[in-house]
Structure 1
């Protein structure tokens, strides 16, 4: 009777593990899709991709915690020798390889995105040159165009008032 009860409990637990493992596989696939990136383009777009990567990385950490708990449970069940867990252990090992691979890919993608963002930012020297260039243009516009236009505008307004 006790043996039968333990066997039934182990069977239920193993079936739950298999079902949850399938859910984790789906979640892993979703994370994989969300982690696809383009490494070129607008800095804002790359920053958005980087934020998305970091979100996926957090989700993968949560999945990793579930994996560790599941692995511990399977090891505990294996000590009772009540159920053939080889297929479940194989599925769990396959899941772990996929999880590890995706986590590695995401970390590499994050590093590439960080580097590309840095590479696409203008250097300090370039920023200084751009600021000097903009200031020079403003000064030239004020000297060449702003003053006469303002003077003409005043003259025209005075002319209209005189009429």
Structure 2
């Protein structure tokens, strides 16, 4: 066995083949993860921002993105190989415009389980960003999904918090 394989949790220790992590011996704890995606829409699209949303022929962009992101977070195990299916207790997506006129999507997911919800939060934020792209591309294709990142996670073996 290659000793370097130990650092990759989704590889079988004996064979090096992909494997789901065995969480059988882990403790059930409250686990929360927050992820963020940033979308740059540009002035051509942002001129359609009124009140708290962008209205298109397809409907309200941010409201639709919240629904899509929530649905995606609930389906993460169907999208990401080796992800444990989790019964999410909560998924909250918030969309705001920052000082640089960028769309900031925050997705917070929580569960009481033996494994974390980072992938659910990241998936929710990512799909919300993709939905915004899809709904705004009729105005312009000059859209950049700038970054998607984990902001924080709590519960389990270790906590993580990114300095913003």
User: Shorter-chain TM-score: what band?
Assistant: under 0.3
Q: Which has the higher helix share?
A: 1
TM-score, L = length of structure 1: 0.28
Q: Which has the higher strand share?
A: 2
TM-score, L = length of structure 2: 0.28
Q: Which has the larger radius of gyration?
A: 1
